[in-house]
Amino acid sequence: MAITFVAEYVVPLVDDAAESSASFVFDKDAAGWSSLVTNDVVIMFAEYKVASTTCSVSTTGGQTWTENLDATLNGLAFALYTCVFNGTWTADPVVTNTGASPPRTAWAAGFTGVDTTTPWEVAPVAQAQASASSYTEATWNTTNNNAWAVVGGGANDDNTWSVDNSFVAVSGSGNIYRRTAGGTDCSIALTRKAIPTAGAVGATVLTLATLGPDSGWSWHGALKAAAGAAATSLIYPRSNYILTR
């Protein structure tokens, strides 16, 4: 079994639309998510433009979520959560921050072929990024064959982004960024790369392709392939959807 992409959900639904809310509601009934099966892995990644806050999964949707990141850097609060899908959504999962209702962006993605005991073989780690037109993630090592290295970040403007080192969108194609507009705005990027043989990922540069320089933050981690996983495929196993709602 290879690690493969199943479906994703993005906020705002229309890129660069205005979004201001304390909560991110992940629509479990959006196109593509019905393809999720027991033991698939879901990540939820949310960012809020607010100086100080903490985040939580205020509605679990019947799942057990692990908090991987929850911090504020350079005026951007962000959080990352992971669950192993138990086969049944009881409600739409919701991520909520404790601040006001700031501009926000969010991204959820589901995968099959990820190890259910230790989904992240390299635990996600984040760092502040000073005002610049690009953010660099220094190289790090994966520890098992067929991992998916993941690099993401956020910035204090509705930037478009590009990425080097053969990283691509989590779906395998399309935009690596999501933006929120209107007054004070922000953006996030999310990318991944298959690492067939455990070892160095290589330094990776996330470029703010428009509107930079801006301050922000970046992070990296690596999803562990389930035992017996083969070379990673870019083919969608159960869905042809890249979700926009």
Please give the Cα distance from 175 to 161 (Å, whole number). Answer: 8
What pLDDT sits at residue 235? Answer: 39
Give the type of residue at 65.
Answer: W
Model pLDDT, residue 240: 36
Cβ of 103: how many Cβ atoms within 10 Å? 25
Q: Specify the pLDDT at position 44.
A: 97
Q: What's the whole-model pTM score? A: 0.91
Q: Which of 236, 153, 166, 226 is nearest to 195 (CA)?
A: 166
Look up residue 195 and give its two tokens: 């690492």
Give the per-residue pLDDT at 101.
Answer: 84
Backbone angles phi, psi at 33, to 5 degrees: -75, -15
Rg (CA), the chain: 16
Can you give the pLDDT at residue 159? 94
Q: How many whole angstroms separate alpha carbon 146 and alpha carbon 230?
A: 7
User: Domain coordinates of the chain in residue numbers?
Assistant: 4-223
What average pLDDT values come out for the chain (245 residues) when binned by 10 residues?
93 93 93 96 95 90 98 94 98 90 93 98 98 97 97 96 97 95 88 97 96 94 84 42 32
pLDDT value, residue 193: 98
CA–CA distance, 236 with 181 (Å, rounded to integer)? 30
